[in-house]
Amino acid sequence: MNPDKESWVMRDNAALKKSYRFPFLIANEAEGVYLKGNDGKKYLDFTSGGQTSNLGHKHPAILTSVKEQMERTGFSSLGWVLNDTRIRLAEELKKIVPGKSEGYVGFCNTGSDATELSWRLAQDYTKRQMVICHFGCYHGQPSMGALALNTSPHGRKYGAPQVPGIFYVPYPYCYRCLFKSVYPDCNFTCLDFIEYQFESRVIPEEKVAAFFFEPVQVHGGVIPLPDGYLARLSEICQSRGILLVADEVTTGFGRTGKMFGVEHWDVDNDIIYFAKSIASGLSLGAIISNEGIMNNFQGGGTFSGNPIACAASLANIQTINEQGLLQHSHEMGEYLRKRLSELDSSLCTIGDIRGLGLLTGVELVKDGQKPANKETTQVIDRAANKGLLMFPAGVFQNVLRLCPPLIIKKNEIDTAIDIIEKALKT
């Protein structure tokens, strides 16, 4: 280890508590699809800064918008004044959000905030208390409610949180179907199971306010909802007065090749919410729903909807549209998965490759379908050493999560593939 790095690692260990395992990299600079390490090397960031920066790091459009807004207003709280930038962003979100043009926007700061607020909105509107979510879901961490919804081992590191009234149901994880059914012939045994729970009164439907879902379950293993699932889930919820809540924190703003993940299926949601890449690098959260539901919106805290992040968000949306990044995300994602499907691994087996747009999961297994979680960590560490950063995902942490910025080029994907190929060799 170089002495400079050693001293930063020591200072980090002495000053910070972290719940994530960080790779060895110390990065104090970033640009586009790269992070620059203090070792002078460039690293391809296939995490997009923790999925916060769909346009890549330091995108000129974001820099300009932030600078201009800083010069115009600095920061102004939602509680004190109206602001043109914030209003324009709310109008724009209403315009682009699928199926909810008559809706209202409520701002907050993070994905966890948006989860909490959506939960509360659903409770206030339905006058019911309980919620349903999927095994393997992740809806946030710093707050008790969002944390309680998570069922990932990471989210439950310190035990299950004590929030009552949550039911967990299997996600349609077809590669590891709990019911040993085969999609599409199964006709969704997993949804039959949910209905059975209602019918047998294990879940008292008249007490359930909302069903939370991710269009692609990301922490759970980058698993897109199979076609047909959401339409039937929507019917199940609607017929019982349960609100369907789409968590687009990770899937929003072009990540899946459409502006929002739910646009892959023609289904309306009652509440939809965003964060992470909404402002491509700045903290902002937003919830959209119809007037009846949003009448109970109580606000997302002092910094929510701050004009600086709103300006960045407007620039983000404009850039995605002007530069054709939705189509690019779709095409590059298909290319990435095709290249991945040509790889061999002698370290373990590539069990499944799945994804939408530039959100891809590569599930690593051994001895049949046993999760190759140690090998996954090994691949991630080796790839990082060779200049490619990836997250793990999955309940068993045996999935490579690939989510490069939407501006990624073919030759950069080729570089990443070369690195992954080497990392998969014994």
Residues that bind ligand PMP (CB under 6 A): 110-112, 115, 138-140, 214, 218-219, 247, 249-250, 275-276
At closest approach, how far in Å is the CB of 110 from ligand PMP?
Answer: 4
At closest approach, how far in Å is the CB of 412 from ligand PMP?
Answer: 24
CB nearer to ligand PMP: give 247 or 363.
247
AA letter at 379: V
At closest approach, how far in Å is the CB of 24 from ligand PMP?
Answer: 22
CB nearer to ligand PMP: give 140 or 394.
140
Question: What distance lies between CA 304 and its chain's CA centroid?
Answer: 20
Residues in contact with 198: Cβ distance below 8 Å, sequence separation at least 6, in sequence order: 205, 236, 240
At closest approach, how far in Å is the CB of 148 from ligand PMP?
Answer: 13
At closest approach, how far in Å is the CB of 137 from ligand PMP?
Answer: 7
Token pair of 305, please?
């909807």
CB nearer to ligand PMP: give 130 or 275.
275
Distances (CA, A) of 263 to 99, 174, 266, 333, 391: 9, 21, 6, 17, 25
Q: What is the CA radius of gyration of the chain?
A: 21
Distances (CA, A) of 88 to 206, 244, 313: 39, 27, 10
- In 44-177, which ranges are continuous DSSP H helix? 48-51, 60-72, 84-96, 111-126, 144-149
CB nearer to ligand PMP: give 89 or 275.
275
What span, in angstroms and rounded, lies between the C-alpha atoms of 60 and 42? 19
Residues in contact with 312: Cβ distance below 8 Å, sequence separation at least 6, in sequence order: 62, 65, 66, 69, 279, 280, 281, 282, 284
What span, in angstroms and rounded, lies between the C-alpha atoms of 341 and 245? 33
At closest approach, how far in Å is the CB of 114 from ligand PMP?
Answer: 7
CB nearer to ligand PMP: give 19 or 411.
19
Residue number with the smallest Cβ distance to ligand PMP: 111
At closest approach, how far in Å is the CB of 378 from ligand PMP?
Answer: 24
What span, in angstroms and rounded, lies between the C-alpha atoms of 246 and 50? 20
